[in-house]
Structure formats: structure tokens, C-alpha cells
Amino acid sequence: MTATARLSTGHGLDQFQKHLTTHNKSPNTICVYRYAVEQFYKLYPQLTPRNLQLYKVYLLEHYKPKTVNLRIRALNCYMEYRHTAIPPVTMIKIQQKTYLDKIISQADYEYLKRRLVENEDYNYYFMVRLITATGVRVSELVTFEVEDAFRGHKDIYSKGNKMRRVYIPRLLITELQKWLKAARRSTGPLFLNRFGSPISPSGIRAQFKVLAARYNLDPEVMYPHSFRHRFAKNFIEKCGDISLLSDLLGHESIETTRIYLRRSSSEQYRIVNKVVDW
């Protein structure tokens, strides 16, 4: 029996994974949560308050704050599942920036679209368009079907079996349908890889880095979530309804959405130079 198998059997990780599945956790969340529990037990033999604090120190020494909090959240979820009397581990406070950076600019977005069309790379052209026009996550993007493009919307189910409707703008629907009809596609996954199979989020992330190098774009802003941010920034600037934006993005709290009210550091600097004359 392998070490991983012993961990699964001895600490009920398989049952924990089933528990997460029944509570509608995403496949990525389930993978991350399971990994965190496995990592804890590889480092410490027992689930005790002291070992949990030692694990927290270990995380702080080896990972970024967001990863630390994600692993802590996973352990707290596992303890809740086990009905332990151990108090939850407190997460660390992450100081939020007063500005919002590392988002692809509107100019670079327009440039990228133009270059993708010129090179007839319509698969990635429509990926970029769909994320930026709807704000979907890359994990949601890969679930789109051809039928959704003809229907004009997609219903996405997330945590707690909550449903949100993603609306595809009319102009994009027209372009998508023209592309699909030319390719004689009427059913199946909307986006395919070069082998004709459904594309994966990791495949999209990797190709975005290739596109950054190919078109001389900043690799730090060439990632799928950057285009989701672009949608949110454009929407809040043109509409101003933060409550509606929160619903469209599928945020559990409107506080998460408030980040899009912030300016980038370059925007802040430009405004200061324009306003301050004393």
C-alpha cells in the first residue's frame, strides 16, 4: 500500500472528498483541499491544536499569503467535516492594495483581438472575447457548449447549488454563430484543443503565455482572469451598478466586487498630476 493510499484510508480523505463533492465544491477546490490535508498529515502525525499552529508556521515560511489562507481554509473545512472540538485556525490578514494593477489594458485587448483575427486564430479570439464580454472564470469558460452560443446565455451552477445566468452580448452571439456555422458545428464543447478534444483551463493558461510572447504583450497581464478583470472594470465604468456586477461575476459578497472601484497605480498617478496644482 502506498503512502498516499495509507493517508486516504487512515484519515478518511476519500470520504472527505465525497463530502466536498456533495456540497458542490468545484473540482479545483476539492483537489486543493485534499492536497492541504494530505500535506498536513505528511508533516504531522496527529490533528492537534499545536500541530495545526506548527503547520501554519510552515506555510508562512514556504508560501504566499493567499496560499497560506487557502490551506488553512481547507484544514478548517476538514475539521468541521470531522466534527472535532479543535477551534478553527485563524487565517492571516492580507493588506489590500489601494490600487488595481496587472489587468490587461483596453488598448492591449483591442490589439490582441486584431492580431488573433489576422492570424485566423478564431478559437482563442472567441475565448478572449467571451471572457471579456461576460466575465466568466476560465473554469466556467471550458464548460460552454455550442448550443449556448445559439441560445445566447448559459446557466452556471456554483457553490451551494447557486445558479447564475451568464448573458452573451448580442454582437458576440452573431459573430460566434457565424464562426460555428462556417465550421459546421452545431453541438458539443464550444472550445476544442488542437486534437479536437475539450480544452482544459491549464491548456488555456499555457497558450495565453505563448500569445504574450508571440505578440510582445506583458506576460503578467496575459492570464485568463485578467480578461475577467477587464470585463469588470469596463462594466463598472460604463454602468456603475456594482450590485449587478457582483451578480454577473458570481461573487458571494459585494465586498469582493468593490475592488473594481479602485484605480490602477498609473491611473492614480495620472489623476494626482492632473488635480494637484498647489
Q: Which of 1-5, 74-78, 208-212 has the lowest mean pLDDT?
A: 1-5
The reply to whether 260 belongs to the active site is yes
Euclidean distance between CA atoms 231 and 249, whole angstroms: 9
- Mean pLDDT of all residues in 52-70: 91
Largest CA distance in the chain: 74
CATH number at residue 139: 1.10.443.10
Answer whether residue 87 is part of any domain: no
Is 251 tagged catalytic?
A: yes
Identify whether 184 is a catalytic site residue. Answer: no
23 is a catalytic site residue: no
**Residue 7 clears pLDDT 90, i.e. is over it:** no
- Euclidean distance between CA atoms 134 and 145, whole angstroms: 15
- How far apart CA 219 and CA 278 sit, in angstroms, is 38
Check whether residue 180 and residue 219 sit in a common domain: yes
From 167, 225, 269, 270, active-site residue? 225
For the chain, give the number of residues.
Answer: 278
Examine the pLDDT at 242 and tell me if it is beyond 60. Answer: yes
Same domain, 166 and 217: yes
Strand, coil or helix: 202: helix
Residue in 159, 165, 181, 214 annotated catalytic: 159
Question: Which of 71, 228, 229, 233 is labelled catalytic?
Answer: 228
Domain count, the chain: 2
Q: Which of 78-87, 192-201, 248-257 has the lowest mean pLDDT?
A: 248-257
Catalytic option among 251, 258, 262, 263: 251
Of 264, 245, 266, nearest to 254 by C-alpha is 245
pLDDT of residue 157: 82
- The percent of residues in the chain predicted with pLDDT above 90, rounded, is 60
Chain Cα centroid distance, residue 130: 14
Average pLDDT over residues 2-12: 52
Mean pLDDT in residue range 152-180: 88
pLDDT given at position 247:
85
Per-residue pLDDT, averaged over 33-44, amounts to: 94
Element (H, E) at 14: helix 13-22
